[in-house]
């Protein structure tokens, strides 16, 4: 099946949409042939939230006269975002972003979908990601998103088979988690005492919840009397109860003095001239990570993290929580339950870190 690009529209992405494909396209005026530029530019309507309504009124593959009608990738991306049952809405949006990046890196000078989404083009895209220093986990995510869109094309009769099934994803390296010592934890809590995310840092350090779970946490999920915290939506797609130790309760009460009148435990901050104030809106993971940056720069172990990965700083607190429990001989099953791991192998690495010296090694003598 062939595709036909729609005329480029004059709509622009919303101001401040820095990560949109539009900003990257505008800086590559001479890098594409005209056909590819016409192919990719209309798909920017997907990111502006303004799909082309006239094209979606026509069923895929048929015109008003019942004959074959050219269908563009902008139509398919818009249809994928609005009607597909593959994954959640954020997953479909990330898929559309990934497809846009793939089209930008593609060297296929054709309008044939089978050639655009070919194993050769996918391998070339992966090689470009590896050369750019992207991790194996990121590349596997890209393949997953592209595979979801290709599956959508198959269900709509636009592709015969899924080319991603022919690509072997890079193996994940099982690296040892990095955690903070007790001294570093105390230093972190001292530095963050006057920051608006100070109580949140202490809460993650003593509960091990993920930064995304922290962002979605509501006050109705906190049971001070029962000393538990409910994570309603987790990475494993299951809710869980996290017990609250004495220090975790102290940090929650500290946070309640700040945002107790709102719905969310970690509310967003609205900046004004001369300061900022809380608003009744959940703090985004990006906002929490940005607020962590000046704090993490004061701890040497945080400075070892790659640039632009402040989200890993929050995750290091989760590693610290699990490792400290393992060092104190907590039962591995409880550690797995507290962290919400669906696979015990994820928890096992913390147990290995805590084992240390074993007297049985002396039997070699």
pLDDT of residue 345: 81
Q: Which of 213, 215, 203, 218 is nearest to 237 (CA)?
A: 213
What's the pLDDT tens digit per position in 132-166? 878 888 888 889 888 888 888 888 888 888 998 88
Report whether pLDDT(6) > 80.
no
The residues spanned by each domain of the chain are 21-166, 182-359
What's the pLDDT tens digit per position in 171-187? 877 777 788 999 999 99
Tell me which of 311 and 280 has the higher pLDDT.
280
Report the share of the chain in percent with pLDDT over 70. 75
pLDDT of residue 209: 95
Q: Mean per-residue pLDDT for 306-324? A: 79
Report whether pLDDT(41) > 50.
no
Q: Mean per-residue pLDDT for 59-86? A: 59
**Separation of alpha carbons 117 and 163, rounded Å:** 7
> How far is the CA of 328 from the CAs of 71, 181, 205, in angstroms?
61, 13, 15
Please give the CATH number for the structural domain made up of 182-359: 1.10.443.10
The pLDDT mean for the chain works out to: 76
**Separation of alpha carbons 307 and 127, rounded Å:** 22
Report whether pLDDT(128) > 50.
yes
Of the listed ranges 114-118, 249-253, 356-360, the one predicted with least confidence: 356-360
Binned at pLDDT 50, 70 and 90, residue 360 comes out as confident
Q: Mean per-residue pLDDT for 23-36? A: 37
pLDDT of residue 307: 56
Helix (H) or strand (E) holding 280: strand 275-282
Rg for the chain (alpha carbons), in Å?
25
pLDDT of residue 27: 40
Please give the backbone phi and psi of residue 272, each rounded to the nearest 5 degrees, phi first: -135, 170
| pTM metric for this prediction | 0.64
Tell me which of 313 and 62 has the higher pLDDT.
313
Which stretches within the chain are classed as H helix?
Answer: 21-26, 34-40, 44-48, 53-56, 73-83, 89-105, 113-116, 119-131, 136-155, 182-191, 198-207, 211-216, 246-259, 285-296, 300-303, 310-327, 332-339, 344-355
């Amino acid at each position: 099946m062939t595709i036909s690009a729609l005329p480029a529209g004059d709509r622009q992405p919303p101001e401040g949409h820095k990560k949109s494909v539009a900003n990257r396209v505008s800086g590559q005026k001479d890098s594409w042939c005209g056909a590819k530029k016409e192919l990719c530019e209309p798909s920017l309507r997907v990111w502006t939230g303004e799909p082309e309504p006239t094209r979606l009124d026509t069923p895929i593959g048929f015109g008003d006269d019942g004959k074959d009608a050219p269908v563009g990738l902008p139509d398919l991306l818009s249809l994928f975002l609005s009607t597909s049952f593959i994954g959640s809405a954020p997953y479909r949006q990330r898929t559309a972003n990934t497809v846009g990046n793939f089209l930008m890196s593609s060297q296929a000078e054709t309008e044939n979908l089978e050639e655009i989404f070919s194993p050769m083009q996918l391998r070339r895209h992966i090689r470009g990601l590896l050369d750019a220093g992207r991790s194996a986990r990121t590349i596997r995510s890209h393949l997953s998103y592209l595979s979801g869109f290709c599956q959508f094309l198959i269900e709509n009769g636009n592709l015969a088979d899924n080319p991603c099934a022919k690509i072997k994803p890079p193996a994940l390296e099982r690296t040892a988690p990095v955690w903070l010592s007790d001294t570093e934890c105390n230093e972190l809590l001292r530095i963050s005492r006057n920051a608006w995310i100070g109580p949140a840092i202490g809460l993650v350090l003593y509960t091990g919840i993920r930064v995304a779970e922290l962002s979605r946490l509501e006050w109705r999920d906190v049971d001070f009397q029962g000393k538990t915290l409910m994570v309603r939506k987790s990475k494993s797609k299951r809710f869980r109860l996290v017990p609250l130790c004495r220090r975790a309760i102290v940090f929650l009460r500290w946070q309640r003095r700040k945002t107790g009148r709102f719905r969310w435990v970690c509310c967003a901050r609205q900046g004004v001239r001369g300061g900022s104030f809380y608003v009744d809106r959940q703090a985004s993971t990006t906002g929490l990570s940005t607020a962590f940056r000046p704090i993490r720069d004061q701890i040497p172990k945080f400075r070892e993290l790659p640039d632009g990965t402040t989200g890993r700083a929050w995750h290091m607190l989760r590693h610290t929580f699990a490792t400290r429990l393992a060092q104190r001989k907590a039962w591995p099953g409880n550690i797995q339950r507290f962290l919400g791991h669906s696979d015990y192998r994820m928890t096992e690495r913390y147990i290995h870190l805590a084992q240390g010296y074993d007297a049985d090694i002396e039997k070699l003598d």
